[in-house]
Amino acid sequence: VGPFLSRLFADADLIPLGRLQSYLGPLISRRRTPKIQVQYAAIGGGSPIRKWSEHQSAEMCAILDARHPESAPHKPYLAFRYADPLTEEMYTKLLEDGFGKQGRAVAFTQYPQYSCSTTGSSLNELWKWRMRLEGKEPENGGVQWSVIDRWGTHPGLVEAFAQNIEAQLATYPEEERKDVVLIFSAHSLPMSVVNRGDTYPSEVAATVAAVLSRLQHRNPSRLSWQSQVGPSAWLGAQTSDTVTSYVKKGHKNQILIPIAFTSDHIETLFELDQEVIHEARELGGHGVKRAESLNGSRVFIEALADVAGAHLRGGKACSSRQLGMRCQGCKSERCLEQKRFFVNTMRRGGDGDEEVVVR
């Protein structure tokens, strides 16, 4: 837990602490470690995110092998930003396996909605290790990277969310179902990141809108934000406040939907299940429940394969035109260089279109 939190609070893309980042980051992580250790113990001693990520990626690659034999075999490599296996370990394994000789690799973010603090930070880290381990102009051509940077409105993702919501709705008496409030919950962001122009809030809202459309807008709903850390202003309204507020207003039946997560981890199993729902039930909200996370959903895994397959066939450096755009208030040179690298990486390999200018 300690090393994980140290890396997390050292990441200025996720939690910007200004000039005091190197001092405040370790201080905050040391103070939070005992509390987070208790939380992990309460969910079984550790996060299941690696287990689910390994399962999802392996199943996705099996589908890709069957559907796209021309690019088979497809091999999954996991890289986490703050926990093992880290990006450095993944990149070293890629090179050991021969991908440094113009082998093709796809950086497929498992954050469906893009944020500079999540996918952006991960791409910064990937670019850093590319420069450290291969250099700017690798002798043998280097790993040929392309990027799937966002996919929050993919029909398969929307369907997977909708099916899990419908399954939980079915647990309520039929006469009560139409009044169950759907509370979509996503990880919050510091307002300093939001005000810089991060696209995450609008992309999460787009996912919510697509899911509600698939559900034919049969239920009232709200989007809320969870997991705020520290005293600075974060994007709200907070999920915990939202749920308790509606319970007090008489909405005893609510379904929490983790709309920005693709598997269970501490934010779902502890924060939502053991804190938010527990508090709601203490106030009389005995009908407050949570939709199952995507985890082993076959519909979701098929969606992953569809997204990846379309990207492989498309031959583009990036899955969207958005990656080449910086936030309006971005002043990070690292972000600029990372974007310049990834949006033009296929061109360097001789397979892409004209150079894309990133400013």
- Using left for φ > 0, alpha for ψ between -120 and 50, and beta otherwise, residue 250 falls in left
The Cα 25–Cα 15 span in angstroms is 9
DSSP codes, 46-108:
S-SHHHHHHHHHHHHHHHHHHH-GGGPPP-----BSSSSSBHHHHHHHHHHTTTTEEEEEEEE
3-class SS of residue 142: strand
Give how far Cα 300 sits from Cα of 43, 94, 222, 330, Å. 24, 26, 23, 33
Q: Closest Cα to residue 124, out of 293, 337, 302, 317? A: 337
**Residue 122 burial by CB count (10 A; 0-12/13-18/19+): exposed, middle or buried?**
buried
Question: Does residue 149 carry a catalytic annotation?
Answer: no
Q: Which among 154, 187, 251, 311 is annotated as catalytic? A: 154
Question: Does residue 154 carry a catalytic annotation?
Answer: yes
Angle between helices 121-133 and 87-96 (to 10 degrees): 40
The C-alpha angle with vertex 215 and arms to 213 and 221, in degrees rounded to 5, equals: 80
Give how far Cα 244 sits from Cα of 108, 148, 220, Å. 36, 37, 16
Q: Which among 11, 13, 149, 306 is annotated as catalytic? A: 306
Give how far Cα 356 sits from Cα of 147, 205, 322, Å. 15, 28, 12
Angle between helices 49-67 and 298-314 (to 10 degrees): 60
What residues are annotated to the active site? Answer: 154, 306
